[in-house]
Amino acid sequence: MSTNSDAGARRPVLALVGATGAVGTVMIDIMNARPSVPWGEVRLIASPRSAGRKITVRGAELTVVALSAEAFDGVDIAMFDVPDEVSAEWAPVAAARGAVAVDNSGAFRMDPEVPLVVPEVNADQISARPKGIIANPNCTTLSMMAALGALHREFELRELVVASYQAASGGGQAAIDRLYGELEALAGKEVGVRAGDVAEALEAAGLPLSESPFPAPLAFNVVPWAGSLKDEGWTSEELKVRNESRKILGIPDLKVSATCVRVPVVTTHSLAVHATFAREVTVEQAHKIFAGQPTIVLVDDPTAKKFPTPVDVVGEDPTYVGRVRQALDFPNTLDFFVCGDNLRKGAALNTYEIAEELVDRL
């Protein structure tokens, strides 16, 4: 995190593209809560349909302007919280107008000319940005990056086996609404008594699966599918965990297997992580490292049954880590459990942290 310490310098202009969306709204909350960078101007940009809306940022009422090339004139840093195809089209436009685009979509993450940044792990990569674009990682990957980055610096990460417990809000407001709707339709019913009865009850309640953002019921269920199908049966989400982890940590040959599963949780992704290092690592060493990280909260007291769970982490900035165990049969290996708010560190917060880091490197 940087502050613009030279009082004589021109204060940078920050744009937020997608200001009225779910992540954009969290972004504005974060800007209000983190006043360290005094922006010269904050410009809110959204689709033409949202233009004209008034939103208060840091005490000032701002009017949302429509997305256009001219909207980026004079902008130093443009944060994008929009769908992939909107970023793909407009981030280069912002860059061409002289802004650094910080993009939270999947459009540029694996582009070799675009750094993929988690500030506490690889802030040094912010300066080299040949396309004028910096990418923010996928929320599932992000949930474990602070913890893995800190361990990797000491013990050299080699292998990663991950299973996720992903919240509905990763699929946007429609996905949250679907989960609440399903639970309401099933309230008071004895479900799970016989195969298929949840799907039948949802159908009867006017909530057919064909209209769900999920490929199976989410209430009283878990759904081992996130994203779209890629090669060999792997989902896009599972490959993002692999490829983005490799790029962020700078380990091109990191071995990764991930299984991504949606669970009936509103917000906060959790991951069961099995991580193998080049050198031996004890629980005590890991605890010490985690406790020393400003963006990690260690909650790990098994005697008192204290560990992180998603509902403890909603709205929180840090990643929570617990259940740290030395693997009994795998050398140099730790098993642990992490929880991160997928809308904050997983999306808006990390994007804003990149913007803060950029202030001194424009």
Choosing from 152, 260, 269, 339, the catalytic residue is: 269
In the residue annotation, 274 being an active-site residue is answered as no
Q: Which is nearer to its own copies, 93 or 263 (CB)?
A: 263
For the CA atoms of 238, 240, 241, 247, the dihedral, rounded to the nearest 10 degrees, stands at: 150
- Judge contact between 289 and 347, C-beta under 8 A: no
Residues numbered 215 to 234 that lie near its own copies (CB under 8 A) are 215-217, 220-225, 229, 232-234
Residue in 28, 29, 15, 171 with CA at minimum distance from that of residue 101 = 15
Task: Tell me if 360 contacts its own copies by CB under 8 A.
Answer: no
206 is in an annotated binding site: no
With CB under 8 A as the contact rule, which of the stretches 4-12, 75-83, 104-112, 250-258 interacts with its own copies? Answer: 250-258
Nearer residue to its own copies within complex by CB, 41 or 312: 312
Tokens 């996130």 -> residue:
226
CB neighbourhood size of 65 (10 A): 19
Secondary structure of 36-49 in the HEC alphabet? CCCCCEEEEEECHH
Q: Are 315 and 325 in contact (CB under 8 A)?
A: no
Is 139 among the residues known to form the active site? yes
Site residues (CB under 8 A) for its own copies, limited to 251-280 = 254-257, 259, 261, 263-268, 270, 272, 274
CB atoms within 10 A of CB 309: 15
What is the rounded CA–CA span in Å between residue 14 and residue 258? Answer: 36
Number of residues that bind its own copies (CB under 8 A): 76
Chain residues 141-200 in contact with its own copies, contact rule CB under 8 A: 159, 161, 163, 165, 167, 169, 183-184, 187-188, 191-199
- Look-up of token digits 């060999």: 232
Closest to its own copies by CB, 37 vs 324, is: 324
Per the annotation, does 32 bind a ligand? no
Contact between residue 242 and residue 252 where contact means Cβ atoms under 8 Å apart: no
To the nearest whole angstrom, how small is the minimum distance from the Cβ of residue 187 to its own copies?
5
42 or 266: CB nearest its own copies: 266
Q: Which is nearer to its own copies, 42 or 199 (CB)?
A: 199
User: Is residue 8 annotated as involved in ligand binding?
Assistant: no
Give the burial class of 149: count Cβ atoms within 10 A of its Cβ; 0-12 exposed, 13-18 middle, 19 or more buried: buried
User: To which residue do tokens 């101007």 refer?
Assistant: 41
Residue ranges of the binding site for phosphate: 109
Catalytic residue IDs: 139, 269
Residue ranges of the binding site for NADP(+): 20-23, 49-50, 169-170, 342
